[in-house]
A and B are shown apart, each in its own frame.
Chain A
């Protein structure tokens, strides 16, 4: 049924987003990019891809940060083009995508303020997808309660924030907990939303979000070793929608070193290969890269199904990954250190 009516509201956008996806760089493009000697070469080569003349109005010499900013600007303009015209429930879905970036921005700002950095200096570092009007006023809050009551209560993130409202002052550990609690609530809510849409969207998105949830669970566990986070608290931070839920999460909560995490991952066919050699041997891909690769694979897979919203999420994530790749390659070129230039995540063969 959804297939019949999908195109009435969302067909145009799906077409657009598939067109955008067609512009993603391929293996050949990356191979050419990594052969570049200077950033000017990179610019010249990017001009032959879908990026076209997006750097042509930038005076030489180019800086990596300019490339990064332009890449983000381009992605955001594509996203905004979709968002501005979309109708419900796609509009809501697209909003959900931007919530993740909003959380990142909030955490970035709070951390910055904690270290007494100027807000004006931090704002350009925020991801433009997650900028909202109240963002700049975050600095007035000293406790999470204030943060919630005065700033965030009007934003769509308010319900996620409810859980971490305490009278405690903000500090390093607190912020990490806030970030993960927010993310947990966000992912769970997004997951529920996708379930409510149902159909192919549910199939595609729930798989991606389940992976996202599990990845966070692994990361939280690994990063919490050696901190004062208790096992009970850790358990509370795990998003409870992934494949690890419930048994795997319990096991993860009990882990006390990396080896144990690897043992938990052994039970899951998808995650076992990622922990296979671990990050122990140098030159190997890190766990993070493997997660990224798997995520890219899932996102590409999302395009295999028609009439569903997964493509929008997948597109944003793929574009983000592509941005990371280009920035990585640019950094390697700019610093004349080409030994690790191949460490990008290839998206399309």
Chain B
């Protein structure tokens, strides 16, 4: 609580670092993460800074590492070493040099291997394609031969037909064989036909196995083709078209015997080549796996080095004394650790030149820093999501730890649902070490980071579930305080009495017709209400009043917190003319209502002056509408029967509340104005007295930010006043969402029980199905959807209704230079 109550006190200091130890010092500071560096040269471009060459070297190293990574990913090897390197300090400059050299060597080696492999693969591809061509075209040639044979067997009487003409000249028919990608075939064919005016003959056969592109490794489906043509000119044209369509042309001997010979030769060459290829691949895998073993660590180390140089780029260079100067923010409470880190840094560099941290006066707004634990972090982030606290103002974070889960639970009150939620969160909490590195996407991260919030939400829901006596819409009974005789239970009920028990109308006084209240139930709501006819009337009234009480208390608490702010920032005017009227206004109207609620709850009907319980809502309205008159007879809550006492008390309260409005609205601006006037008069008097010199400066500091024109101040105060007064009413109404959501939740769970699960009680297999449906709906709708909606409403109640009473939220977060943040990618500067 101590550290969260207000943000850390920050100091602004100049850090003088001798340039030869600067790298090590910054590195040591990055390990502890307690110092925020302020950019000393915001006007300089990235490439004009001092350490731009070092940053560039890091970029180059990262490029090489990315190259290794992509190569390793292709082989699907595991990358190791990241965690180890994250906990180690960043390598020193010498380490950086040796890393650079090693990366360079490895990159050259990898490139060489890749080139070799590519050449081999290309050869392999060519040979395979040639092999395919020889295989496939053999078929065409065989066909052609058999056709020739058939033709020659035929009589030569139709010798003037073009077909035979071609046949006669078949000796002159030339051909081109090659391989082309399948998707380019249609265009190829069309163009071939068109460009050669149909004077070519194309046959093609697909290759069954896809081949691999040697550079990208993609699969390509190809086809073998053979084009027969006549004449040199046409041949050139065909070859050009082949080139245009990226077809690879392979020479194919004319004679069948030669073809066979070539085929055999190609076969053996393929076998040889594949042997070599395998060996190269093994070598490559070996090299890559050694790289993969260290790559994770390298990536982390290079990131750290780069972050250090990025930070050093924010330093100013002191030309004469050969040192670097940075301006920093740091939490005063941790100065010892920082000094220690500075010493560690210098000793690492092996130098006796000490880095010096020198506090300087400043007038800029310090950042807001908290030291959170894994438990408080989630709650603090709820507050920060609305707005980071102004430096040193009261932080709603620590209260949120309790009030947030509590308000959530008021809306989510169900023992069973709370228990399930608690179990889930408990699992996350107990296994947090192993789950920390689990990558489950954004939704998972949100849930995992909020595990302690969920845990508390679950626990508090169990508590309110006990109070509401509600477990999956049923009640637990430890002996009801009501006694109801057998015959009073209506008998129009079917089924077993235990399940279908319906109690008759219960009267709050426990005396009227059919119930008899013997004693108060031990804790929470009596289970008999759960089965009574007028359950809803009872719980509605109870929950509605409860929400008003909780709401008014929380708002009042918020107003009280503003007192701490005013006192801390020494704004006495605000205490007298803002805090006090606000408290009076709130308590005179709504505080009074709360007291009336509590009084009415604790008073038996007979003890009311007129033996009738008044409606408190009407009473509150009448306080204003029937101002000055005593309440009507049936409306008297306390005091004498005529309501004279109550009337007078209420009159007084209204008067106080109404007076508070102009008090809030006018006094502070008027007082400030008169002060300002007086100062002006004094200044004038001094001018007349000839004491002009320097007098203005003395006074300006005194009133600081309150130096505004009167009109502006007035408008501001008016807005503030109106917001508060109207806010009191609308915010109280807003707290009724506690009741509404709680009601909705209870009703929904009752519907689920009655309409779904209850239908399954007739037979076991129906129960089996009904339970499944019920369980899915309970988790999906009640736990997740309702849970989210209750979470949202609790969030709103905190952000709007609670925090607007005191919270300014105009600060900015302390963003220290920390390797942990850099590695997680949270530090934008050094990314």
Q: In the bound complex, do residue B63 and residue A56 qualify as a contact, i.e. CB atoms below 8 Å apart? A: yes
Q: Which of A32, A36, A37, A151 contacts B191 (CB 8 A)?
A: A151
Interface 0/1 of A41-73, CB less than 8 Å to B? 100110110000000111110000000000000
Chain B residues, CB < 8 A from A153: 194
Nearest Cβ in chain B — how far from A145, in angstroms? Answer: 12
Query: With A and B bound together, what is the CA distance between A134 and B237 in angstroms?
Result: 14
Query: With A and B bound together, what is the CA distance between A56 and B64 in angstroms?
Result: 10
Nearest Cβ in chain B — how far from A134, in angstroms? Answer: 7
Q: A56-B59, A57-B63, A150-B195 are in contact. Are A134 and B45 (CB under 8 A)?
A: no
Q: In the bound complex, do residue A137 and residue B245 qualify as a contact, i.e. CB atoms below 8 Å apart? A: yes
Q: In the bound complex, do residue B240 and residue A44 qualify as a contact, i.e. CB atoms below 8 Å apart? A: no
Q: A133-B184, A133-B187, A136-B245 are in contact. Are A57 and B66 (CB under 8 A)?
A: yes
Q: In the bound complex, do residue B47 and residue A44 qualify as a contact, i.e. CB atoms below 8 Å apart? A: yes
Q: In the bound complex, do residue A134 and residue B47 qualify as a contact, i.e. CB atoms below 8 Å apart? A: no
Chain A residues, CB < 8 A from B169: none
- Measured as residues with beta carbon below 8 angstroms from the partner, the interface class of chain B is 20 to 34
Q: Name the prevailing secondary structure of the B interface residues.
A: helix
Residue in B60, B241, B244 whose Cβ sees the most chain A Cβ within 10 Å: B244
Q: Which of B184, B187, B195, B244 contacts A119 (CB 8 A)?
A: B244
Chain A residues, CB < 8 A from B105: none
Q: In the bound complex, do residue B66 and residue A32 qualify as a contact, i.e. CB atoms below 8 Å apart? A: no
Q: In the bound complex, do residue B46 and residue A45 qualify as a contact, i.e. CB atoms below 8 Å apart? A: yes
Chain A residues, CB < 8 A from B184: 133
Chain A residues, CB < 8 A from B243: 119, 136-137
Q: In the bound complex, do residue A137 and residue B244 qualify as a contact, i.e. CB atoms below 8 Å apart? A: yes
Q: In the bound complex, do residue A134 and residue B56 qualify as a contact, i.e. CB atoms below 8 Å apart? A: no
Chain A residues, CB < 8 A from B241: 137, 140
Interface 0/1 of B49-63, CB less than 8 Å to A? 000100110011011
Residue B76 at the A interface, CB < 8 A?
no
Residue B190 at the A interface, CB < 8 A?
yes
Enumerate B707-757 residues with CB–CB distance to A below 8 Å.
none
Interface 0/1 of B137-169, CB less than 8 Å to A? 000000000000000000000000000000000
Q: In the bound complex, do residue B244 and residue A140 qualify as a contact, i.e. CB atoms below 8 Å apart? A: yes
Residue in chain A with minimal CB distance to B186? A133
Q: Which of B47, B67, B246 contacts A36 (CB 8 A)?
A: B47
Q: A56-B59, A57-B66, A137-B245 are in contact. Are A45 and B47 (CB under 8 A)?
A: yes
Interface 0/1 of A89-100, CB less than 8 Å to B? 000000000000
Residue A219 at the B interface, CB < 8 A?
no
Residue A35 at the B interface, CB < 8 A?
yes
Query: With A and B bound together, what is the CA distance between A41 and B52 in angstroms?
Result: 9
Q: In the bound complex, do residue A35 and residue B45 qualify as a contact, i.e. CB atoms below 8 Å apart? A: yes
Interface 0/1 of B233-252, CB less than 8 Å to A? 00001001101111000000
Query: With A and B bound together, what is the CA distance between A153 and B55 in angstroms?
Result: 55
Q: Which of A32, A40, A41, A140 contacts B240 (CB 8 A)?
A: A140
Chain A residues, CB < 8 A from B66: 57
Q: In the bound complex, do residue A44 and residue B56 qualify as a contact, i.e. CB atoms below 8 Å apart? A: yes
Residue A154 at the B interface, CB < 8 A?
yes
Residue A256 at the B interface, CB < 8 A?
no
Residue A149 at the B interface, CB < 8 A?
yes
Interface 0/1 of B671-697, CB less than 8 Å to A? 000000000000000000000000000
Residue in chain A with minimal CB distance to B237? A140
Nearest Cβ in chain A — how far from B109, in angstroms? Answer: 15
Enumerate A8-40 residues with CB–CB distance to B below 8 Å.
32, 35-37, 40
Residue A139 at the B interface, CB < 8 A?
yes
Query: With A and B bound together, what is the CA distance between A151 and B193 in angstroms?
Result: 11
Q: A57-B66, A150-B194, A154-B190 are in contact. Are A45 and B45 (CB under 8 A)?
A: yes
Q: In the bound complex, do residue B56 and residue A139 qualify as a contact, i.e. CB atoms below 8 Å apart? A: no
Q: Name the prevailing secondary structure of the A interface residues.
A: helix
Residue in chain A with minimal CB distance to B53? A40
Query: With A and B bound together, what is the CA distance between A59 and B108 in angstroms?
Result: 12
Q: Which of B62, B240, B244 contacts A134 (CB 8 A)?
A: B244
Chain B residues, CB < 8 A from A59: 60, 63
Q: A56-B63, A134-B244, A149-B194 are in contact. Are A32 and B187 (CB under 8 A)?
A: no
Query: With A and B bound together, what is the CA distance between A41 and B49 in angstroms?
Result: 11
Chain A residues, CB < 8 A from B52: 41, 44
Q: A40-B56, A136-B244 are in contact. Are A48 and B63 (CB under 8 A)?
A: no
Q: In the bound complex, do residue A48 and residue B46 qualify as a contact, i.e. CB atoms below 8 Å apart? A: yes
Nearest Cβ in chain A — how far from B247, in angstroms? Answer: 11
Enumerate B299-342 residues with CB–CB distance to A below 8 Å.
none
Nearest Cβ in chain A — how far from B41, in angstroms? Answer: 14
Q: A32-B45, A57-B66 are in contact. Are A150 and B244 (CB under 8 A)?
A: no
Residue in chain A with minimal CB distance to B64? A59
Chain A residues, CB < 8 A from B67: 57
Chain A residues, CB < 8 A from B59: 44, 56
Interface 0/1 of A121-141, CB less than 8 Å to B? 000000000000111111110
Enumerate B461-493 residues with CB–CB distance to A below 8 Å.
none
Q: In the bound complex, do residue B245 and residue A133 qualify as a contact, i.e. CB atoms below 8 Å apart? A: yes
Residue in chain B with minimal CB distance to A137? B244
Interface 0/1 of B26-58, CB less than 8 Å to A? 000000000000000000011110001001100
Q: Which of B45, B190, B244, B245 contacts A139 (CB 8 A)?
A: B244
Nearest Cβ in chain A — how far from B298, in angstroms? Answer: 17
Chain A residues, CB < 8 A from B191: 134, 137, 150-151
Query: With A and B bound together, what is the CA distance between A59 and B194 in angstroms?
Result: 46
Query: With A and B bound together, what is the CA distance between A41 and B246 in angstroms?
Result: 39
Nearest Cβ in chain B — how far from A340, in angstroms? Answer: 21
Query: With A and B bound together, what is the CA distance between A47 and B62 in angstroms?
Result: 14
Query: With A and B bound together, what is the CA distance between A139 and B241 in angstroms?
Result: 9
Residue in chain B with minimal CB distance to A40? B56
Nearest Cβ in chain A — how far from B192, in angstroms? Answer: 10
Q: In the bound complex, do residue A137 and residue B45 qualify as a contact, i.e. CB atoms below 8 Å apart? A: no
Query: With A and B bound together, what is the CA distance between A41 and B190 in angstroms?
Result: 50
Nearest Cβ in chain B — how far from A224, in angstroms? Answer: 33
Q: A56-B59, A60-B60 are in contact. Are A137 and B240 (CB under 8 A)?
A: yes
Query: With A and B bound together, what is the CA distance between A134 and B195 in angstroms?
Result: 12
Enumerate A141-179 residues with CB–CB distance to B below 8 Å.
149-151, 153-154
Residue in chain A with minimal CB distance to B70? A57
Nearest Cβ in chain A — how far from B519, in angstroms? Answer: 68
Nearest Cβ in chain A — how far from B5, in angstroms? Answer: 40
Nearest Cβ in chain A — how far from B299, in angstroms? Answer: 14
Query: With A and B bound together, what is the CA distance between A139 and B59 in angstroms?
Result: 44
Chain A residues, CB < 8 A from B45: 32, 35, 45
Nearest Cβ in chain B — how far from A111, in angstroms? Answer: 17
11 pairs, A vs B, C-beta closer than 8 Å: A44-B46, A44-B47, A45-B45, A45-B46, A48-B46, A57-B63, A134-B191, A136-B245, A137-B244, A137-B245, A151-B191
Known: A57-B63, A57-B66, A154-B187. 8 other contacts (CB 8 A): A35-B45, A40-B56, A133-B187, A134-B191, A138-B244, A139-B240, A140-B244, A151-B191
Q: Which 10 A-B pairs have the closest CB atoms?
A: A137-B244, A136-B244, A41-B47, A150-B195, A140-B240, A44-B47, A150-B194, A133-B187, A44-B46, A140-B237
B contacts, CB < 8 Å to A = 45-48, 52, 55-56, 59-60, 62-63, 66-67, 184, 187, 190-191, 194-195, 237, 240-241, 243-246
A contacts, CB < 8 Å to B = 32, 35-37, 40-41, 44-45, 47-48, 56-60, 119, 133-140, 149-151, 153-154
